[in-house]
Amino acid sequence: MPYGSVFAPALFAGKVVLVTGGGSGIGRCTAHELASLGAQVVLVGRKVDKLQAVHDEITQDGGLCSFDACDIRQEESVRSLVGAIVERHGRIDGLVNNAGGQFMTPLEAISAKGWEAVINTNLTGGFLMAREVFVQYMNKHGGAIVNIVADMWGSMPGMGHSGAARAGMVSFTETAAVEWAAKGVRVNAVAPGYIASSGMDNYPAAVAPMIREMAKTIPAGRFGTEAETAAGIVFLLSPAAAFISGTTLRIDGARPQARMGWPMRTPDAKIQERAAVKPFDGFHRATTPKIFQDNP
């Protein structure tokens, strides 16, 4: 069965969209949805095997896809990558800055090397990709950029390096939206909350019980799906968002608003089946993260 997108067929026909971190998780899902809507998707990441696997999935489904291995933290590599993509496809209409990563460590235990690794991946790499896409194509042709951040509105205790990087990316998003508006470029961000994505399997097995319990802290009463996140990204890339720039779209089930002193009331199963809040999962190739598969 095909991707069950809520958007109009062929919405991105003739468009070229780059998706960093496209080899897994939210990036993989977003790439699938964009391809299902007619986009020529270009996957970017460090691990060729993962990129190849997603490329094969998309082409098997009848979509258009290519991929390039690149460490987005390396300035010259990014510059060469974007130039090669423009030469190959002749255009770059959209960029999804999705590549990222972090590890759980209290501030006092984070080394300078560890801090820089997370900042470079989640902030510097996204800046370099956006800058080069703008300089090499969008400054003359316009386009849309969506930066993926995270639920860091109460900061991120236990992952302070990631919280700092994500907050920096929100600020970059707002600045770029202003500076590049005159060139017809829109820049927005998407902040996923607790999403049942393969990225959760990167955390140590010891924290699996804690992760499974996190749904109890979400007013919506559940984890989000990759497809719900991809839908927000696709909307911000689409013509329907033509007057939206410099904003951050939260996809988090109202989790940051949970407060001490207000009793946590989550919907029961019957309420969660109602159309307004029923989980959406149009991704036909979605798989349940192993961290949940192990939960009896």
What is the mean pLDDT of the segment spanning 97-111? 85
pLDDT reported for residue 65: 98
- C-alpha to C-alpha distance for 131 and 124, rounded to whole angstroms: 10
Q: Is residue 141 over pLDDT 80?
A: yes
With pLDDT > 90 as the criterion, what percentage of the chain qualifies?
Answer: 69
- C-alpha to C-alpha distance for 68 and 66, rounded to whole angstroms: 7
Confidence of residue 294 (pLDDT cuts 50, 70, 90): low
User: CA distances (Å), 228 to each of 109, 126, 134, 214, 260, in order?
Assistant: 35, 22, 28, 18, 27
pLDDT reported for residue 56: 98
pLDDT reported for residue 285: 94
pLDDT reported for residue 154: 78
pLDDT reported for residue 126: 97
Residues with Cβ within 8 Å of 143's Cβ and at least 6 positions away in sequence, in order, are 92, 93, 94, 95, 133, 137, 184, 185, 186
Confidence of residue 151 (pLDDT cuts 50, 70, 90): confident
The least confident of 66-70, 197-201, 234-238 is: 197-201
pLDDT per residue as tens digits for the range 23-65: 999 999 999 999 999 999 999 999 999 999 999 999 999 999 9
Q: Are 65 and 33 in contact (CB under 8 A)?
A: no
Q: Which residue would you say has higher pLDDT here, 282 or 101? A: 282
What is the mean pLDDT of the segment spanning 271-281? 84
Chain position carrying tokens 């989980």? 279
- C-alpha to C-alpha distance for 94 and 2, rounded to whole angstroms: 23
What pTM value is reported for the model?
A: 0.92
What is the mean pLDDT of the segment spanning 124-151? 97
Q: Is residue 113 over pLDDT 80?
A: yes
pLDDT reported for residue 236: 98
Can you list the domains of the chain with their CATH numbers?
16-293 (3.40.50.720)
pLDDT per residue as tens digits for the range 249-273: 999 999 888 877 788 888 888 888 8
Q: Are 186 and 207 in contact (CB under 8 A)?
A: no
Strands 185-192 and 64-69: unpaired
